[in-house]
Structure 1
Amino acid sequence: MAETRRWPLRRIINVSLAVLAAFLLAALIGGGFALSRLGDARATVVGRIDPALQQALRLQSALVDQETGVRGYALGANEDVLNPYITGVTAQHEVAAQLGGLLTDLPDAAAQLRRVDDRVDQWRKVYAQPTIAEVARTGEPASTTSVEQGKAYFDRVRAALDGLQTRLNTARVNASDTLDGAATTTNIVLVAIAVGFALIVAALALGLRRAAIQPISRLAEEVRIVARGEFDHPVEQSGPREVRELGTDVNIMRERILQELSALQVAHAELDKRSTDLERSNAELEQFAYIASHDLQEPLRKVASFCQLLERRYKRQLDERADQYIAFAVDGAKRMQILINDLLAFSRVGRVVREHVVVSCDAVLEQALANLSYTIEQTGATIEADPLPDVSAEVPLLTTVFQNLIGNALKFRGDETPHVRVTVRRDGDFWEFGVADNGIGIDDEYAERIFVIFQRLHNKADYPGTGIGLAMCRKIVEFHGGRIWLDTTVESGSRFCFTLPVINEDEETDG
């Protein structure tokens, strides 16, 4: 039940990613809210209150210019002195409009601004405009009483301006406190996000390490122990489900290797036994070859010699059946000698190893044709050959291959005069030789049978031979690292192909 409840690695990774994504989302929301609050507070201070304070100062300056211009005009009746009043009125209207837009979120300051406007209107209607009109009409300065009255009205305007300035300063202090608080909150949130992210990453890393990486590392170490050859060491399973399943598979593989190793050890023992038997058989074969080449040849020569003496001395002196029996004995002795010699030659291929030398195949072919010169002359055969390459081989064995293949072409000839063509082409790392003739040909079904020792397709009375020639060719070619086959694509005659390795530059230089 514990194994079934254990989470798979895929779920561990998915849950880890989900936790990290949830934290990042919460951090994004909290950080965004804190930054938004900080931006709003900063916008209130920088974008509204500070500009409102500046505009309030401009408003105060414009009103002071108006009061200064009216008082100077009232005392001196000089129209030039009245210019500050005119420009101050224009500046007042512009500043009041801008200041009104900045105080939309500050109702107390907006109410105080309206109080300032009311008192300015009252000062202008009650004192400024009547005084200007009176001085302009009489051309005389206004009375001191009138000037003092105007100053009293403007003091009320000053009081309203001071109230506006006070409210704006109070609002700025409150907004600055709010801005500082938002900045502090933002810093706390950002630090908390950074610390939380670091803790979550560390926790996830530790969790993944304990839940996945450590079990995989333990499994890897267990596998390395097995890989070093300790196949009896069981692989422990731990960690997520996939890792445990992998460990189980490795255990199954280990047990299979143990079974295969046990079977291989048995096979090696059997192979060692058979190798010993083969060595003994080879020794017996060598002993047989020695006996066949010495002990069997001598009595066989005696049998053949005495049979030939009987044939010469008593020919036509006995009846016809006796002459026939003697002829059979002589022929059998001769064929037995040929068969023994061919068997000896076949057994020596690959067993009696001579040094391979770099030799010209043209020279080898020339020697083979010299050995077949009598048969070539008797049959009137023509032999054509492409320029042949140099190869690394045992010269006598390679001569035997060309001699057997061309000899078969002359032996199994048809009604036409024998014509043999020897070709060669390079196929990668091999030379592919071809020996084609215009003889009786070979059916495709016998393409493999003809290379088996003692396999004959014709009666020995029609075509003499022991049936060893093509088997000898195959053994020699394979001994030299090539292969031989019958080309079944030719439409008339027969064509044998065999390959020999291309010599490398080092061998060619040594040669």
Structure 2
Amino acid sequence: MLTGNDTFLTPYTDGSSRAEQAEEHLRALVAELPKSITERLDHLDALVEAWRGYYAEPVITLLQQGVAAPLAERTGTAKEMFDGVRLASDRLQTELDRVRAESRDAVDIASSRVIVVSVVLAVVLLLVFVLLTLVLRGAVVGPLTSLANQVRRVADGDFQHAPSVGGPREIVTLADDVDTMRRRILDELANQREINAVLDLRTEDLARSNGELEQFAYVASHDLQEPLRKVASFCQLLERRYKGQLDERADQYIGFAVDGAKRMQGLINDLLAFSRVGRHVNDHVELSAANLVAQAVANLGHAIDEAGATVEVEDLPTVRGEAALLTAVFQNMIANAVKFRGSDPPRIVVDAHRDGQFWEFSISDNGIGINPEYAERVFIIFQRLHAKEEYPGTGIGLAMCRKIIEYHGGRIWLDAEYAPGTRFRFTLPAIPAEDAEAPETPDVSEESQ
């Protein structure tokens, strides 16, 4: 009123809002309390509303209309009305303090009673627990202890002892179940012993068979190779010495003999290499796949240059395995891409990506491709899709690759959806990060292949 500035009305408006909120909260709290508190609260609310209607709100309205010091004649009466508000508020607070003190005393009395009742219940429960313990010890724990001792006796090796106890029906049933389990274990043990005996016999047969295979490999690599080399040598001598001196059919026959001997030598060598995969186990070491591919490309340098081929190698991981065998996989696939090329110069791409616990490698080319219906046939030993006059070879390369990859814990397949050209994919187990070490650089020459 003195300044005529609305800014000084902020404490009044904020206080009015807080007063309404406090009244709502208080009415919710005193709903279950004596009626005297509600009556005092209603009386206080009436006095406040009377003061506002008589003085505060009219003054604010006139001030906002530009009237200076309005309703000054009501100031004295308004002061007396607000003193009544203060007095009613103090009386309400006094009544609330009295009710709060009485309620606290009632809560203390109730808490004491609850404590007494709780103690009594605890004592009663303790007595019941002790009584039940004594009863259970005699009726349940004793038979269970006897059953446990008998089960321990069976577990120690006395499988012929049949557990038997008295007591409640459930414990007797449990003893019967334990005995049934004992008899079943005896039956399984007898079956397992029979199976182990059969396995021992088969193991002996397998060891004998492996010995015979070793002997066959020795014979094939020495005894069979020597006469075959002699046949090939003398056939070649006949070809050089008598070529042109005999008729055309004789020259053709000599050529067939020389070609057959050479092919037989190639088949025997490839078959020996195929049989050795997985039999002569060497330590698996960590190898850079990029170095393996580089070694394979170096071994095929002449064929790659002659065909005008390009080999693109993406980022390749480190894997664990035998350098000679994994190099043979890359070398065989790159050689196939160069051999089975189309009219354009061969373009071969080698890359890899992580697939869960494995690295998945792919070798793609732009060659003549493979019909999807032959996706499995190409991995069968000695299976050829072309005549030997069109493309030379023994038909054992991809079978060798599959055996090597499976020996290393992966799998290999033809990507039937890739076109034009051919794409082979294979997986190798990834090396756990905590086991990773510096990869070794393989030293695999073309002769060792």
Deviations 1:168-197 (A, max 9, x none): xxxxxxxxxxxxxxxxxxxxxxxx999997
Mapping for residues 179-218 of structure 1, pairs under 5 Å:
201-218=129-146
SS, match of residue 350 in structure 1? coil
Shift of the alpha carbon at 1:337?
Answer: 0.6
Return 5+ residue gaps in structure 1 as ranges.
1-191
Percent identity over the alignment is 62
Render the CA deviation track for 1:187-228: whole Å, top value 9, x for unaligned.
Answer: xxxxx9999977754443333334444444444444444444
1:293–1:344: 8 Å Cα contact kept in structure 2?
A: yes
Give the equivalent residue in structure 2 for 1:340: 268
Q: Which of 217, 221, 228 is the equivalent residue of 1:289?
A: 217
Measured in 1, the distance between the counterparts of 2:419 and 2:186 equals 55
Question: 1-side partners of 2:121 and 2:295: how far apart?
Answer: 95
Task: Map residues 223-238 of structure 1 onto 2, 5 A cutoff.
Answer: 223-236=151-164, 238=166
Mapped partners of 1:282, 1:494: distance in 2: 37
Q: Are residues 198 and 289 of structure 1, via their aligned partners in 2, closer, same or farther at CA, if it must alter by over 3 Å? A: closer
| Alpha-carbon separation, structure 1, partners of 2:260 and 2:388 | 12
Cα gap change, 1:215 to 1:479, in 2 (>3 Å): same
- Residues 441 and 494 of structure 1 are in contact (CA less than 8 Å); yes or no, is this contact kept in structure 2? yes
Cα contact 2:286–2:438 (8 A) shared by 1: no
Summarize the alignment of residues 318-329 of structure 1 with structure 2, pairs less than 5 Å apart: 318-329=246-257
User: Aligned residue for 1:384?
Assistant: 312
Name the TM-score, length of structure 2 as normaliser: 0.62
How far is 1:342 from its partner? 1.1
* Equivalent position amino acid for 2:184 in 1: R
Q: Assess if the C-alpha contact under 8 Å between 2:292 and 2:327 holds in 1.
A: yes
**Matched residue type, 1:290:** Y
Written as runs of structure 1 = structure 2, the 5 A alignment for 1:475-486 is 475-486=403-414
Tell me the amino acid that sits aligned with residue 301 of structure 1.
R
Counterpart residue type for residue 386 of structure 1: E
Equivalent of 1:317 in 240, 245, 257: 245
Q: Does the aligned pair in 1 maintain the 2:287–2:319 contact within 8 Å? A: yes
Post-superposition Cα deviations, 1:121-153, rounded to whole Å, max 9, x if no partner, equal xxxxxxxxxxxxxxxxxxxxxxxxxxxxxxxxx
State the shift of 1:339 in Å.
1.1
Show CA shifts across 1:276-305 (max 9, x none).
Answer: 222222222222222222222121111111
Determine which structure has the larger helix proportion and give its number: 1
Q: Any conservation in 2 of the 1:359–1:393 contact (CA below 8 Å)?
A: yes
Distance 1:223 1:199, change over 3 A: same
Distance 1:510 1:435, change over 3 A: closer
Structure 2: distance between partners of 1:380 and 1:392: 32
User: Is the 8 Å Cα contact of residues 439 and 493 (structure 1) preserved in structure 2?
Assistant: yes
Give the alignment partner of residue 430 of structure 1, picking from 354, 358, 375.
358
Cα distance in structure 2, aligned partners of 1:442 and 1:220: 69
SS of match in other structure, 1:335: helix
Q: Distance in 2 between matches of 1:212 and 1:430?
A: 56
Deviations 1:437-493 (A, max 9, x none): 233434445444433333334444443322321222222223333333333443543
Q: Could you tell me which residue of structure 1 aligns to residue 301 of structure 2?
A: 373
Q: How does 1:48-127 map to 2 (within 5 A)?
A: none
SS of the residue 2:296 aligns to:
helix
User: Within 1, Cα distance between the matches of 2:374 and 2:141?
Assistant: 64
Give the Cα–Cα distance (whole angstroms) in 2 for the partners of residues 210 and 245 of structure 1.
18
Larger radius of gyration: 1
Q: Deviations over 1:387-445 (max 9, x none)?
A: 22233332221210101111222333344443221111123443221112233434445
Counterparts of 1:473 and 1:397, CA distance in 2: 9
Normalised by the size of structure 1, how large is the TM-score? 0.55
Aligned to 2:427: 499
Aligned pairs, number: 320
Indicate which of 232, 238, 247 corresponds to 1:304.
232
Q: 2:41 is matched with which residue?
A: none
1:149-168 → structure 2 map (5 Å cutoff): none
Q: Aligned pair 1:508/2:443, yes or no?
A: no
Q: Partner residue of 2:279?
A: 351
Mapped pair 1:267 → 2:195: yes
Distance 2:290 2:126 in 1: 83
Aligned CA distance change for structure 1 residues 198 and 285 (closer, same or farther; 3 Å): closer
Is the Cα contact below 8 Å between 2:285 and 2:439 reproduced in 1?
no
2:52 maps to what in 1? none
Letter in 1 for 2:247: D
Q: What letter corresponds to residue 204 of structure 1 in structure 2?
A: L
Match of 2:81 in 1: none
Alpha-carbon distance change, 202 to 505 in structure 1, aligned in 2, over 3 angstroms: closer
1:237 and 1:248 in contact (8 A); partners too: no
